Structure 1
Amino acid sequence: MSKKDPKDPLVRCLVLLGLIPRYPKSSSVQELKTALEQRGFSVTARTLQRDLGEKLSTRFPLICQDDGQTYRWSFDSQAQISLPATDTAAALAMNLAEGHLKHLLPPGVLALLEPQFATARNHLQSLQHNPLTRWAQRVRSLPNGKALLPASVDGAVWENVATALLEQRQLQVDYLSRVKGEVKAMTLHPKGLASRGPTSYLIASVGDYIDLRHFALHRIQRAELLNTPACDEDFDMDVYLPTAAFTPRQGTGTVNLVADVHPDTAWILRETPLSEDQTLLPLPGTNWLRIRASVADDQETLRWVFGIGEEMKVLEPMAWQQEIRQRLQMAGNLYAR
């Protein structure tokens, strides 16, 4: 009998294991039966219950709950399982990803991934003589610049936001407005999710409005998943992001940055340019260089330029030069006091 034969009970059980959610989520026998049928497996509820109760629960950390109407099944929340057996290269990738993602994802999301991370760590530790293990011990992912701790996101909020986004369902949320400093109830139509440094944002429209806004997940104090379908007009993340107001803009589009830079900064910008059209030309009679590049006209870019400090002198745009002068004067006044 072929391994892919839908009548093969072993194949059916393997697929079934992959359908069972982790606690506190759970699935009823009927829900699992429907999911199996969608994957080409024809099975009765009685056979499915026997598979779960007599075969799988004796070998895997499954939890069975009786809600008074039916039995509901879950994997133990801390269960470390891998179906099929963990691949060494995949385990290495997960191990390295853990170090990178802990600077980006909120704690609640990292907790959901911990069983997979633990499985990867255990697999690599078991390979005492495998050179890949030594690689994992000697390779690290470091954040660029000062990494802030991720904002704390409630686990239930994350679960409902992710489900609403994937299933295109509306969300009823209590959201803490940073501008008004008060909690407001609203109905959201989820469109996308963006991670920006230590903060994750839900991109959504509100109620009957069609304009898009973004909501910091850690400011969502409560999220209720509704059965009402979300407004599902076309949404293109790549089209939206360049216009998204994640950072206050000075103007629209880009500006031509012209500045004189110290050779140390010029070396870095030669290796990691600001833009595709960047040029760096030597300044006669000095070891400094003049940079020209098209950059975004926003506060984030201006803050980056300001952070270069005495190693960059901005010549254009003039508005940036004036703002940098004002900031330096305010900083000088602050320290003079």
Structure 2
Amino acid sequence: MSRTERLYKIDQLLRRRRVVPLEVFLDELSISRATFKRDLEYMRDRLNAPIVWDREAGGYRLGGAVSPGLDYTLPGLWFSAEELYALLVSQKLLSDLEPGILATHVAPLQERIVSLLEISGKSSDEIMRRVRLLSMARRSVAPRCFALVARALMERQRAEVDVYSRARDCVDVRIISPQRLIHYRDNWYLDAWCHWRNGLRTFALDTVQRAKLLDQPAVEVEECVLDEHLASAYGIFAGKPKARAVLRFSPERARWVREERWHKDQTGETLPDGSYRLTVPYADERELVMDILRHGRHVLVEKPASLRRRVAEEAAAVAQRYAASR
């Protein structure tokens, strides 16, 4: 019997019986007293199991105090994709932190994550060596700017920020009321009320070059309004959907795309020839055009005409550039 199986057996015995004598554990598990003591110590220290010795009843039982914020549960013998991803992301983010005021608080969290990973029967080092999280096109954010924006967000204050526009190659000064932070495709974004534009906008935090906290309360935008305006269309760009993109993927590419989620309100259908028609709402076509072009000749924009024309122009420009470089 593996250690993981023993831990589950100990847990089952404790839950089935009010009190479990030591001899019952040793008999059921076919282990020595020393091995049982090690397993018990692991469950208490690493899994936060509230196992106590009841002297009057002559056995072990559940019922000790649990550390604040740490519930006692045994995870599965292996993790779901979402669980493993969450654990590894948490471990990576905590490991990447610079030593600071959070150091003493972070250490117990890291130990807890390690213990959860190891319940699978493998060491956390082995799991992290075998399973990698790769970032792509991650852009760095100035720590001071991030801290000030986050502070303004949580303290519900306005902020003055210098935002670099890559499209226009210039810096704009904006007064904003931060609403929420978004981590999307390995980068940080800020949904905010822009007092210059008098409307909701999304800012890439890597473009914020300076941030200053203002002694003015932030404008409050209701959550339902934020969701309607900023989460109802494709990608990170804000705005209510202005159109629905209808894309037809080749039978070959359909094998991948039909399993992908481009948007929460997307619809899809497999056509008789094996191709796949995907329909997604969008407000700003910039990000959508980039995602369409990465599929090359395997995708065709059917509707609307404006998006079809934009993609065709981009594809023609690419072909012309390659032709000119021969």
- 1:335 Cα shift? 1.8
CA–CA separation in structure 1 for the residues paired with 2:196 and 2:289: 36
Q: Say yes or no: does 1:131 pair with 2:120.
A: yes
| Aligned: 1:189 with 2:177 | yes
* SS of residue matched to 2:287: helix
Q: Give the structure 2 partner of residue 231 of structure 1.
A: 219
Inter-partner Cα distance in structure 2 for 1:239 and 1:165: 20
Residue 174 of structure 1: CA displacement? 3.1
The residue matched to 2:201 in structure 1 has which SS? strand
Tell me, yes or no, if the aligned pair for 2:243 and 2:304 is still in contact at 8 Å.
no
Report what 2:280 is aligned to: 295
The one-letter amino acid of 1:154's match is: A
Aligned in 2, Cα 1:109/1:317: closer, same or farther, shift over 3 Å?
farther
| Superposed displacement of residue 120, structure 1 | 4.5
118 and 308 in structure 1: CA distance in 2 versus 1, 3 angstrom threshold: farther
Match of 2:4 in 1: none
The equivalences for 1:62-77 within 5 A come to: none
The whole-number CA distance in structure 2 between the counterparts of 1:252 and 1:128 is: 45
- Unmatched 5+ stretches in structure 2: 1-66, 76-82
Do structure 1's residue 326 and structure 2's residue 313 form an aligned pair? yes
Q: Distance in 2 between matches of 1:209 and 1:309?
A: 36
| More moved, 196-205 vs 240-249 | 240-249
Quote how far apart the aligned CAs of 1:304 are: 2.2
- Deviation for aligned residue 1:121: 4.4
Q: Which residues in structure 2 correspond to 1:152-163 (within 5 Å)?
A: 152-163=140-151
Paired residue type of 1:281: L
Compared CA separation, residues 243 and 122, structure 1 to 2 (3 A): closer
Distance change >3 Å, CA 221–CA 244, structure 1 → 2: farther
Q: 1:311 aligns with which of 285, 290, 298?
A: 298
Q: Report which stretch shifted further, 233-242 or 83-92.
A: 83-92
Tell me the secondary structure at the aligned position of residue 181 of structure 2.
Answer: strand
2:136 equivalent to 1:147: yes
Q: Which of 249, 255, 268 does residue 267 from structure 1 map onto?
A: 255
* Cα 1:197/1:320, change in 2 over 3 Å: same
In the aligned structure 1, how far is the partner of 2:122 from the partner of 2:100? 24
Superposed displacement of residue 84, structure 1? 6.5
Superposed, which structure 2 residues align to 1:1-337 within 5 Å? 95-98=87-90, 119-122=108-111, 130-131=119-120, 133-134=122-123, 137-138=126-127, 140=131, 142=133, 147-149=136-138, 151-207=139-195, 210-236=198-224, 237-241=226-230, 242=232, 246-247=236-237, 252-257=242-247, 259=248, 261-263=250-252, 265-272=253-260, 276-283=266-273, 289-297=274-282, 298-336=285-323, 337=325
Q: CA deviation at 1:252?
A: 1.1
Alpha-carbon distance in structure 1 between the residues aligned to 2:227 and 2:238: 19
CA 1:335 to 1:99, structure 2 compared with 1: closer, same or farther past 3 Å?
farther
The one-letter code sitting in structure 2 at the alignment partner of 1:272 is E
- TM-score w.r.t. structure 2 length? 0.56
Q: Report SS of the residue matched to 1:271.
A: coil
Aligned-partner SS, 2:292: helix
- Are the structure 2 counterparts of residues 248 and 217 from structure 1 closer, same or farther at C-alpha, using a change threshold of 3 Å? closer
Identity of aligned residues (%): 23
- Size of the alignment, in residue pairs? 241
Contact 2:245 2:307 survives alignment (8 Å): no
Question: Could you say which residue in structure 1 is the equivalent of 2:46?
Answer: none
RMSD: 4.3
Contact 1:92 1:124 (C-alpha < 8 Å) held by counterparts: no
Opposite residue 211 of structure 2, the aligned amino acid is A
Which runs of 5 or more structure 1 residues have no equivalent in the other structure?
A: 1-81, 284-288
SS at match of 1:224: strand
What's the offset of the Cα at 1:158? 1.8
Structure 1 residue 133: Cα displacement: 4.6
Q: Give the residue type in structure 1 aligned to 2:155.
A: E
- What letter corresponds to residue 278 of structure 1 in structure 2? G
Change (3 A) 1:313 1:108: same
**Secondary structure at 2:294's aligned position in 1?**
helix
Deviation at 1:334, TM superposition (A): 1.6
Counterpart-to-counterpart distance in 1, 2:246 and 2:107: 48
**What amino acid is the match of 2:89?**
A
User: Post-superposition shift, 1:277?
Assistant: 3.1
CA–CA distance in structure 1, aligned partners of residues 237 and 306 of structure 2: 18
